[in-house]
Structure 1
Amino acid sequence: MEPKPAAASFAPANHNTAAALLRVEGGVVVPPEPVSHGFLAEFDEEVEFARLYSQAERYIKPDDLIRLEQAFRLALRAHTGQFRISGEPYVSHPLAVAEILAQWHLDAQALIAGLLHDVMEDSDVTKADIAAQFGKTAAELVDGVSKLDRIEFKTYQEAQAENYRKMFLAMARDVRVILIKLADRLHNMRTLDAVRPDKRRRIARETLEIFAPIANRLGLNTLFRELQELSFKNTYPMRFRVLGKALREVRGDRREMVTRLMNTMRERLPSWGVDAEVYGREKHLFGIYRKMVEKHLSFEQVLDIYGFRILVKDTSGCYLALGALHELFKPVPGKFKDYIALPKANGYQSLHTTVIGPQGMPVEVQIRTQEMHAVAESGVASHWLYKDDTAQSLSDLQRKTHNWLQSLLELQSTSGDSSEFLEHVKIDLFPGDVFVFTPKGKILNLPRGATAVDFAYAVHTDVGNRCVACRINGELRPLRTELKNGDQVDITVAQHAHPNPAWLSYVRTGKARAEIRHFLKTVQQEEATQLGERLLSQALRQVGTSLPDIGASAWDRFLRELSVRSRDDIYTDIGLGKRLAAMVARRLSDLQHERNTASGEEPNTKPRPMVPILIQGGEGMAVQMARCCRPIPGDPIVGMLRKGQGLEVHINDCPMLTRNHSSDRERWVDVEWEESTERMFDVGIRVLVDHRRGVLARVAAAIADMEANIQNVNMENEHSPSSIIHFTIQVRNRLHLARVMRSVRRLTDVVRIVRERNYDKPLNKR
């Protein structure tokens, strides 16, 4: 296609960068109105492209402008006859997306991808076609943004989770993918009025949960705020209208006060030698609404609906301005934050303080340099807006963004499925501002509520997997301790330690949660494979054969029937209770019998003696001691295969076993204890005692004298003549437990002692 001559044929349009999207009205900075392209009768594709072209030609090379128009022509053809719900030609959407990207000064490849981001879904244009005409990079960007509509999923949630997974991984390779997706979502949110209400609310919630936090994480503050406002408007339209009306009514009453405050600051700052620009800004409706909800306030009680921003030339000017401000107004204790010395994870830098203004009104003030302001408003997009590679703030931001994107690849490698991956990413999309120190003085930024375990995984995966203790500010503290700003954390590791499943209940970072789950799944799978092989061997003996007797041909045919890759997968499924060993054994035996018959061999049909599974108690996650009866060596036991959880060992007369699993007897497994076991087993005892001074200490001493560990103690009715003490202790076997109980029974304070099971009736008092 012959391109049009460059530049002259297109009318220029006003150019706005992402750092200059706010306008000042009456001394107050007002957010921009969303751009509307009008409806079908008013829309002119050529005029809209001319506006995009005039923005792009300010910074894009002439050759790239030619390719940009070619991309526009391709999008126009691909979307011919397609219309949005509003009635506009569909091509208006990719044009609007590309225009937003041009405001961020993204390169030609990104603008081309913005124009073509829907053509693979909505037409017969392929990734190869895009690569042939516009290059591999543009094709990869379009593919990264495209959804997976051609793949069938069981649920909408599963499809969305997979879409997000693909988008995040493409974003980890090239951050422009998410910038295009954010521009796409921004325009969709701006034009959401035409969508039916239920879908509008779903899209708005999705935007608030995923896309707004991503914009925040990448430092795109202006975009973050607009997405929040639009999400609030479409999720709670009535609340949005009522709150907006209330804000407009109070705006006139407080405008004079805001103007007076700005003038006071402008007069005082020069006396401190600070050359500064002072702006007033009205807080966004969503921020006011969230404060009302979180603090249970009425609108009248929210006083700080206005804030101020002071822009200075350099970092030293920030601190001088802060001193001038605190001399002028009294600061609110605990409301000062120094994000210059300790930047946020998204590169944001600023000084935040809250002071008491006229009539006792709290006023929030942000102080930053012009460069910090550019990064605060445009975030990672400032890499394209401002090409000064020597600026330390920008290089730090790019490094931090790169580190976060690389962490997404790590999460993908350790997450089991798309839903789990999305869960981990969501955790990391809500960063807090807890700054802690390593013993060498390195600063780590963690979410609020993060624990010592989160810190260990932030240092290194191996440190997290092997941590056993921690020192916080030089004192030994539990691993579940929540960290506070300024804490110095030192992790103690042990070579043979491994993650505890209980950690999942209190870790806060996606990395820690993903690594713990990955380790536990890997260990459980290995243990389940070993257990499954033992269970299948036992089941084969019951049908008169053995595992070595099953030939490779029988195994190959069996695996093909089930579409399973390997024998280990069969063993794992048996060990986790997903397949019954008896059924697998019968089918393998039949296949081997057919093979022997075909080759003229005499089958061995003589049943072999059944050998029970031997339980050591230390098999790991694939073999669990039932919590209802807590079996210990010496107890007669039986195994129950629980689907997805492995083998659960019960005492053979456990009522929970017969009550809940009487119809699943094919899942029962013959098990016996190993002759010698190394580990200690938890068991519960209840002791009825006369309530006297020191009785608990005497009972505990009697237990300890028998070399039993006390895991937990709980006492009932301490103020009555007699009390019940519940102990969880660790013993080696039934003989060891008997010795412990005899030692306790000899005490004169003890009335009765019994072994406790979770299904037992309460112990009666005298």
Structure 2
Amino acid sequence: MVRLSKNLKFMNDEKIFPIPKIKSKDFSKEKKDFSNWLKKINKKYPKKVNTPLLKDAFSLSLFAHRDQKRENGDNYISHPLAVAKIMTEEVYVDNETVCAALLHDVLEDTKITRSQINSYFGEPTSMLVNNVTKMTNIINESSTLREENLKKIFLLTFSDPRTLMIKISDRIHNLSTLDGIKEPKRIERIVRESSNFYSPLSSRFGLNNLKQSLDDQIFKILNQEEYDETYKTIKNIAPRKKRALSVVSKKIQNKIKKDFPKCEFKIKNRKKSIHSIWRKKIEQNLNFEEIRDIYAIRIIAKTKNDCYKILGSVHSQYEPLQGFFHDYIAAPKNNGYRSIHTVITTKIMPFIEVQIRTTEMNEICEWGEAAHWIYKKDAMNPSIEKNLNKMQKARVNFKFGIKKDETKGFVDELKNNFFQERIFVYTPKGDKISLPKNSTALDFAFAVHSELGSKTKKIKINGKIEKLHKKLKIGDEVEIIKNSKTSIKPNWIFKTITSQAKREIKNHLKKINKTMIEKSGKMKLNEIIKEKGLYHLHLTNRDNLKDSKIFNDLLIQDKNDLFYKIGVEAIDPEELLEKLLSEKHEKIKKGKIPTRKKDPTLNEKRFIFKKIKYKKISICEKTRPIPGDNIIGILKNQNLIIQRKLNQKLTEHIKVKWNKKEKYIYQSEIILTLLNRKGSLFEVLQTLKKLNINILNSVTEVKPIKPEVGYVKCMIEVENLSVLNNVLKNLRKAECVIEARRSVS
């Protein structure tokens, strides 16, 4: 029988009351486990643990789950305690998160309310518990909302990655206790979710410690024989390597103390996870003895300067192995990882990896983006603040309206950009480069350096000349043979998959010329029109380009686009003219005559200027000023022309300002440089449609470009310069748009 303390009002009152104490002997094992764990973390992380707070969190969790059992028969309280243990195995996160881990199931499974958690442990803890509960509920929703669920989980993780830390720890423990679940389909779903979603998500948020534990559990379930073999082999060679590592560690420790008596540091041995060892063995075709980083030495210093002092001490004692030194403190990785890596040779072990970093760097390495939330209350150094800003920007970019028709695109984006499996390849000097799976040799070149990528001539993979679009495999050594000048070719954009490479190629394509193809297409079309005697019908004039259903179906907006597609033989000019002729005859029969819109009349109310004599006021058709532009007035033949004030030198002009009280619609011409592919113009039109921008007659002007690029000029209606800038900003985000700008004249 479970006995409670006197105050039973706790469950029905949101105010602060003493947390009921469970006095039953049924929970003596869990209480003892909690007490031992508390002693362990206090010893391991001195001055960090708020013992009374964690005791309260455990007591509340025990009270809430007092009548519940796990599916394997264990008291339910054993689960939240195990989750908290997993989270604090390598690094102590913070008291808020550990409390939330102990309480992570109380909102979902018990009568405890969020307000009660908030009153005892504060808003941050109650928010974390609530977020974990939300994530659990989302996962348990109908499978028909699977893609929608992914989106919601992703946004929850962006709001505070510590939510994911708790959920991953929860998943690790659940995987270790699957023997209590009887339904095979449920087990299969849990493992599949863990492998396909939680593992890559934890990786991308930098939760390295948890990812290793999660992968080990998944590996054990999916491939029990390989797991047992790897575990057994490592267990056999571990004692010998551990003894050798312990000897070297002790010598390094004594040397540092001797060289720098005031230097504060900790030294410990790191063991690679079972899954990581097995994967390296398979991918690089090694035996276990050849894997040199199964064990490594990690030195945790107090300051960055101490890291370099310790490095000097280590290298003075043991010879460093050439080509294996990396200073990620001076030059951090793209994901913010900072540490010094070196490999030393000793008499008892030929290769030992040594990692040197500060406490802060170590916690960020283990907990990734979540570590930034741990440090946010304190004064943040610039690198952490920069990462926080990047995370906030990314969160905002993904936080758009949750609509079913948008969900598939969101999930596709996750698959392509976020969960994409990564591979590691090497430079001839041994530097490791991380790339998405299926990256090509060209992607590698641009990843090393944009200038190197742009000058790529040939590529060697593992000493053999290969094609530029050859897909890379894990462990490949890639060497770039470069030209003295930029040698980017238009078709390179189709031979790369990384955004960095495509961006550099797109920038180069802005300068490419395609005039010859347009001229060729124009000549072909004119020859057939002349041969058939169709000039008088004006089948390809500007009005017909705009109004013809045939041109609209072909997504042709101007003559440049038409000439180019004829030039590259994407359109048969004879077939096109036959269809246009039939369309023209139908219009004549139905009496359909296209009409043009007239420009609105101007008056002096739109502008502020000194009184002068003039007959008519008009806007300059070359500069086309809009509110927000600096403007001037030019008096010509007693007509006042309003134009943009550019850099031109004018001796006589009238000072003019916009009347901000008057609101009108103005025409503005924009120039777009597009990748010439199917759907590009449609994507542009869709962007303008979403912005509620009206498009007027498309304007044709010959521009120098090459086959892969098209130039489009079009007239749009906007209210002011701010609206125009917003339109250009959104157009630049479109994947097909290389450049979007306003016409200068």
Q: Note if contact 2:201-2:419 (Cα within 8 Å) is conserved in structure 1.
A: no
Residue 233 of structure 1 is matched in structure 2 by: 220
TM-score, scaled to structure 1: 0.49
Query: Structure 1: how far apart are the matches of 2:378 and 2:339?
Result: 21
2:324 match: secondary structure = coil
Query: Structure 2: how far apart are the matches of 1:201 and 1:680?
Result: 44
Q: Note if contact 1:153-1:159 (Cα within 8 Å) is conserved in structure 2.
A: no
* Unpaired segments ≥5 residues, structure 2: 1-7, 11-15, 428-432, 458-467, 473-477, 481-485, 507-547, 581-593, 595-673, 678-702, 711-745
Q: For residues 348-379 of structure 1, give each alpha carbon's deviation from its aligned partner in whole angstroms, at most 9, with x where no partner exists.
A: 32111123333772221112234433443455
Cα 1:330–1:164 shift into 2, 3 Å: same
User: Aligned-pair distance for 1:507?
Assistant: 2.2
1:507 alignment partner, one of 480, 490, 498: 498
Aligned residue identity for 1:411: F
What are the within-5 Å matches in structure 2 for residues 130-529 of structure 1? Answer: 140-146=127-133, 156=143, 159-195=145-181, 200=187, 203-204=190-191, 206-270=193-257, 272-273=259-260, 275=263, 277-358=266-347, 361-379=350-368, 382=371, 389-390=378-379, 392=381, 396-397=383-384, 399-413=386-400, 416-417=407-408, 418-424=410-416, 426-427=418-419, 472=451, 506-507=497-498
Query: Structure 2: how far apart are the matches of 1:270 and 1:505?
Result: 51
User: Aligned-pair distance for 1:186?
Assistant: 2.9
1:634 match: secondary structure = helix
Cα 1:402–1:144 shift into 2, 3 Å: farther
Query: Structure 2: how far apart are the matches of 1:259 and 1:69?
Result: 40
Percent of aligned positions with the same letter in both sequences?
27
Query: Structure 2: how far apart are the matches of 1:201 and 1:221?
Result: 24
Cα 1:201–1:267 shift into 2, 3 Å: farther
Cα 1:97–1:249 shift into 2, 3 Å: closer
User: Aligned-pair distance for 1:260?
Assistant: 3.8
Residue 619 of structure 1 is matched in structure 2 by: 556
Q: Note if contact 1:339-1:350 (Cα within 8 Å) is conserved in structure 2.
A: yes
Aligned residue identity for 2:290: Q
1:389 match: secondary structure = coil
Aligned residue identity for 2:216: E
Q: Note if contact 2:203-2:211 (Cα within 8 Å) is conserved in structure 1.
A: yes
User: Aligned-pair distance for 1:249?
Assistant: 1.5
1:335 match: secondary structure = coil
User: Aligned-pair distance for 1:400?
Assistant: 1.0
Q: For residues 294-351 of structure 1, give each alpha carbon's deviation from its aligned partner in whole angstroms, at most 9, with x where no partner exists.
A: 1112224334432222334432332233334344444333322111112345543211
Cα 1:239–1:316 shift into 2, 3 Å: same
Query: Structure 2: how far apart are the matches of 1:67 and 1:199?
Result: 31
Q: Note if contact 1:213-1:430 (Cα within 8 Å) is conserved in structure 2.
A: no
Cα 1:711–1:130 shift into 2, 3 Å: same
Aligned residue identity for 1:506: I
Output the aligned Cα RMSD. Answer: 6.2
Query: Structure 1: how far apart are the matches of 2:189 and 2:56?
Result: 39
Residue 663 of structure 1 is matched in structure 2 by: none
Aligned residue identity for 2:451: I
Residue 686 of structure 1 is matched in structure 2 by: none
Aligned residue identity for 1:239: E
User: Aligned-pair distance for 1:265?
Assistant: 2.8
2:353 match: secondary structure = strand
Query: Structure 1: how far apart are the matches of 2:52 and 2:254?
Result: 48
Query: Structure 1: how far apart are the matches of 2:338 and 2:108?
Result: 40
Q: Note if contact 2:271-2:294 (Cα within 8 Å) is conserved in structure 1.
A: yes
1:368 match: secondary structure = strand
Cα 1:454–1:379 shift into 2, 3 Å: same
Q: Note if contact 1:335-1:353 (Cα within 8 Å) is conserved in structure 2.
A: yes
Query: Structure 1: how far apart are the matches of 2:166 and 2:150?
Result: 14
User: Aligned-pair distance for 1:239?
Assistant: 0.9
2:314 match: secondary structure = helix
User: Aligned-pair distance for 1:262?
Assistant: 2.9
Aligned residue identity for 2:497: Y
User: Aligned-pair distance for 1:223?
Assistant: 2.6
1:307 match: secondary structure = strand
Aligned residue identity for 1:185: R
Aligned residue identity for 1:472: E
Q: Note if contact 1:432-1:446 (Cα within 8 Å) is conserved in structure 2.
A: yes
Residue 88 of structure 1 is matched in structure 2 by: 74
Cα 1:6–1:169 shift into 2, 3 Å: same
User: Aligned-pair distance for 1:84?
Assistant: 2.8
Cα 1:371–1:626 shift into 2, 3 Å: same
Cα 1:201–1:335 shift into 2, 3 Å: farther
Q: Note if contact 1:106-1:384 (Cα within 8 Å) is conserved in structure 2.
A: no
Q: Note if contact 1:424-1:510 (Cα within 8 Å) is conserved in structure 2.
A: no
* Unpaired segments ≥5 residues, structure 1: 12-39, 436-444, 459-469, 487-491, 493-498, 516-610, 640-648, 650-673, 683-706, 713-728, 731-766
Query: Structure 1: how far apart are the matches of 2:286 and 2:240?
Result: 20
1:613 match: secondary structure = helix
User: Aligned-pair distance for 1:424?
Assistant: 4.6
1:634 alignment partner, one of 574, 596, 613: 574
Query: Structure 2: how far apart are the matches of 1:627 and 1:42?
Result: 82
Aligned residue identity for 1:192: L
